[in-house]
Amino acid sequence: MPSFETVRHVRHTPEHMFALVADVERYPEFLPLCEALTVRSRKERDGQSVLVADMTVGYKAIRETFTSQVHLKPDENRIEVRYIDGPFKYLSNVWWFEQAEPGAANIHFSIEYEFKSRLLGMLMGSMFDRAFRMFSEAFEKRADAIYGVPVT
């Protein structure tokens, strides 16, 4: 099963990075391959949110939409995503934002996935791998745009 895991050091707080990744409706503005994102439902409980969202990703002539459950855990600076429906057999990813030095964080991102269709996996697999490698960087650039570029 394909997977990707990375840790990226950024000069923004864990809380800022959590808020940025939790703002899923904005993904089409800056996230590679994300063409549309619609939140179907949002439930709040005990300081946590659970969203069900449809994301449409595209590359050249290929477009696929999938549905995921997004569990926002602000007290843990953690976001867990579980696959519900679409072109995958399996998809799971986790974001975790760890305090580094003051004003900085380590972003932990991991994802595992498998396409239902072998053909779709061959067509989109390498493109997905490249996109996942760009996700953390895209969020860091977005943080710089939203919160300002930190002075070193």
Q: Which pLDDT belongs to residue 57?
A: 87
Q: Which pLDDT belongs to residue 123?
A: 67
Q: How confident is the model at residue 24 (pLDDT cuts 50, 70, 90)?
A: very high
- R_g of the chain, CA atoms, integer Å: 15
38 lies in a domain?
Answer: yes
42 lies in a domain?
Answer: yes
Read off the CATH number of the domain in which 75 is found: 3.30.530.20
77 lies in a domain?
Answer: yes
Q: What is the tally of structural domains in the chain? A: 1
| Residue range of the domain that includes 138 | 3-147
47 half-sphere exposure, CB direction, 13 A CA radius? 6
Burial 126-142 (b: 16+ CB within 10 A, else e): ebbeebbeebbeebbeb
Q: For the residues 82-103, what does the mean pLDDT come to?
A: 94
Q: For the residues 31-60, what does the mean pLDDT come to?
A: 93
Comparing 114 with 36, the larger pLDDT belongs to 36
Q: For the residues 73-102, what does the mean pLDDT come to?
A: 95
Q: Which pLDDT belongs to residue 125?
A: 65
Give the list of residues 6+ apart from residue 51 with CB closer than 8 angstroms, or none. 24, 39, 40, 41, 42, 43, 69, 70, 72
Three-state DSSP at 102 gives coil
103 lies in a domain?
Answer: yes
Mean pLDDT across the chain:
90
Using the 8-state DSSP alphabet, how is residue 151 labeled? Answer: P
pTM for the complete prediction?
Answer: 0.89
152 lies in a domain?
Answer: no
135 lies in a domain?
Answer: yes
